Amino acid sequence: MLLHFTKMHGLGNDFVMVDLVTQRARLDAAQIRALADRRFGIGFDQLLVVEPPRDPEMDFRYRIYNADGGEVENCGNGARCFARFVRDQRLTHKHEIHVETAGGPLMLSVQHDGLVRVDMGRPRFSPVAIPFDAPGDQPLHPLEVGDETLNIAVVSMGNPHAVLQVDSVESAPVERLGPLVEAHPRFPKRVNVGFMQVLSPSEIRLRVYERGSGETLACGTGACAAVASGIRQGLLKSPVKVHLSGGELSIEWPDPEGALTMVGPATRVFDGRVALN
């Protein structure tokens, strides 16, 4: 069968969007891996699927698959693309869109300037929420990786994040430490790994090694996790501008007891059809 799709990106973090509201298909992990291949498939960091909601209070169900075929809980850049996609495809005319995800409900707002604001919910720091094997909740946790000990913050933004502060993102050992921390046995569901350089209390640079995808040009939930951990440690103050390899996001968390919000762009690249084997 031919599957209709749309290629999109959020600051270079690229996605294939599939509407399973108006078309029917079943995608298994092997098919997703084949589609994700940048030489023999379409190529993407993640596959985003739109489905009818199970909860009558929601507008859609939003499912996220990494390039390795595994389903994950949340994706901030993907959420912005999701909001643009369902409006572009005329699946809804709403400016405020409520979606259910494996990581919990999200509220997406398409602004008049074309940017998308995402209510990401309240960051969670409890090791149980990540999940992370640690004796208690604290701003930083020691993590032994090989013959060195890293001090990491752990944050759940509906998906798991570890954040490591570095002097420079350019010289940060992302390729070496990223996969080691991602698959560390203390993270039973693996983890996304952020390398954060603090420029000022209102500005950071960030690189993210994403679980199941490797380093990407941008990671929305990673930006949220980095800012949340920085505010918690007293390093940052809301709002914070986050410089990623693919561009900039604005993260706001003025009330530690409230929700964190993210604002950024979402861009359609092209539409296409692909044969499913």
Which among 64, 264, 61, 75 is positioned nearest to 159, based on CA atoms? Answer: 75
75 is catalytic: yes
Query: In terms of C-beta density within 10 A (0-12 exposed, 13-18 middle, 19 or more buried), how is residue 229 classed?
Result: buried
151 is in an annotated binding site: no
Cβ density class 28-63: b for 16+ within 10 Å, e for less: eeebbbbbbeeeebbebbbbbbbeebeeeebbbbbb
Structure tokens at 72: 């994950």
Which entry of 219, 228, 244, 251 is annotated as an active-site residue?
A: 219
Query: Coil, strand, or helix at residue 143?
Result: strand
Which entry of 32, 36, 67, 75 is annotated as an active-site residue?
A: 75
* Whole-number CA gyration radius for the chain: 18
257 is in an annotated binding site: no
224 is catalytic: no
13 is in an annotated binding site: yes
247 is in an annotated binding site: no
220 is in an annotated binding site: yes
Catalytically active residues, by annotation: 75, 219
Q: Which positions make up the binding site?
A: 13, 46, 66, 76-77, 159, 192, 210-211, 220-221
Q: Which positions make up the binding site for substrate?
A: 13, 46, 66, 76-77, 159, 192, 210-211, 220-221
